[in-house]
Chains A and B, each alone.
Chain A
Amino acid sequence: MDVVNQLQRQFIDYSASLHREGFLDDQFTQLQKLQDDNSPDFVVEVASLFFEDCEKLINNMARALEQQQGVDFRQVDASVHQLKGSSSSIGAMRVKDVCVAFRSFCEAQNREGCLRCLQQVTHEYSLLKNKLQTLFRLQQQILAAGGSIPVVE
């Protein structure tokens, strides 16, 4: 039981830090609350879809921004808009915030600004991916040790 408590403590602390540092917002907590016996891997599945989306959209943005004959900023913006939507739906706050800035640069047709945001969004996405993998690993360890996942408000 001590091992479970320790792991649960770790999970709670890690979760809290992710919220405190702005990686995750309340929407993520809402998704965790939706997870139940009918869909025990719900959050992991949503996260996987999100990361797939990120990769695809970031590639689209990169391709559109490297067009030498003139960047189609509407195309870039369309991808950023989609990424903003997904990140909002999963509670990926820092990714979403970069998308907001990114859209302004698209509107201003500022290629340099867009490239900087692209770099930032790529960075935030990979940071978040690592952190969520750590969080999910902790969850697995708790379950494997016979414990239950604490609900973090």
Chain B
Amino acid sequence: MEVAGEVLASESQLHVLAVDDSHVDRKVIEKLLKISSCKVTTVESGARALQFLGLDEEKGSLGFNGLKVNLIMTDYSMPGMTGYELLKRIKRSSTFREIPVVIMSSENILTRIDSCLEEGAEEFLVKPVKLSDVKRVMNDCIRRGETEGNKRRRVDKRKFEDDNHASSSSSSSSSSIPSSPSSPLPSSPSTAATSSPLHSLKRAKLRDHN
């Protein structure tokens, strides 16, 4: 039996575009993604990311090396174009708006998280990013891919998430963040921001719009 991971055929591997101005972070995220069986392209800026996607006005709309991008993970604070600005550019592009975008940030600022989710970010990860964060993002992406074009299943999934939140907080209208060990959602300090009922409902709402 072959070792799982980097020997999967390229068609079934997720291709992730990782954007970060930090060389250290690019190296770490690349490793995390490769261990999670992804094909990875890393770039150092939003501008480079747009070039790679072919969204750069100068280059026209030709994809760079023909490989479809299944997920974009971008740092928030970057010189020039921030991750937030990159997110907006992608979500406003008819060609690329379906690509899930995950934002990574060293700063756990609620207004920042809200803005990103409002603009259509799939998740907001607090750095340093761990393997468990990446694996969760991968699972969400795969689940998303399976339910694409099947609205009924997506509605059921949302119901499942809502039910989970209802059962993990004391009442369905509770606004407390479920951080107890018994929470069905994977919980760790870095994901507290994304696992609150408010943000998950927002994410569910965003998925509906997609």
Contacts and interface: CB of A to CB of B under 8 A. Distances in A.
Given A38-B6, A49-B23, A27 B128 contact: yes
A85 B28 contact: no
B32 interface: yes
Given A42-B31, A85-B106, A86-B22, 15 more contacts: A30-B128, A30-B130, A31-B28, A34-B35, A36-B35, A38-B6, A39-B31, A52-B23, A53-B24, A81-B77, A82-B22, A85-B22, A89-B24, A89-B28, A89-B127
Nearest to B32: A34
A89 B77 contact: no
Contacts of A34: 28, 31-32, 35, 131
Nearest to B25: A89
A119 to B, nearest CB: 23
Contacts of B106: 84-85, 88
A90 B29 CA distance: 12
Contact of A53 (B22, B31, B77, B131): B22
Contacts of A91: 128
Interface of B: 6, 21-25, 27-28, 31-32, 34-35, 77, 79, 106, 127-128, 130-131
A3 to B, nearest CB: 31
A89 B131 contact: no
Nearest to A90: B24
Contacts of B6: 38
Nearest to B5: A38
A88 B128 contact: yes
A55 interface: no
Contacts of A81: 77
A73 interface: no
A42 B32 CA distance: 11
The 8 closest A-B CB pairs, nearest first, are: A86-B24, A89-B128, A27-B128, A49-B23, A49-B24, A85-B106, A34-B31, A89-B24
Interface residues of A, number: 25
Interface of A: 27, 30-31, 33-34, 36, 38-39, 42, 45-46, 49-50, 52-53, 78, 81-82, 84-86, 88-91
Contacts of A33: 131
B130 A46 contact: no
Given A27-B128, A30-B130, A89-B128, A46 B24 contact: yes
Contact of B127 (A38, A49, A82, A88): A88
Contacts of B131: 30, 33-34
Contacts of B35: 34, 36
Nearest to B23: A49
B128 A53 contact: no
Nearest to A38: B6
Contacts of A88: 106, 127-128
Contacts of A45: 27
Nearest to A54: B24
Contact of A85 (B25, B31, B32): B25
A89 B77 CA distance: 15
Contacts of A39: 31
A130 to B, nearest CB: 19
A46 B32 CA distance: 13
Interface centre among B28, B34, B127 (most CB of A within 10 A): B28
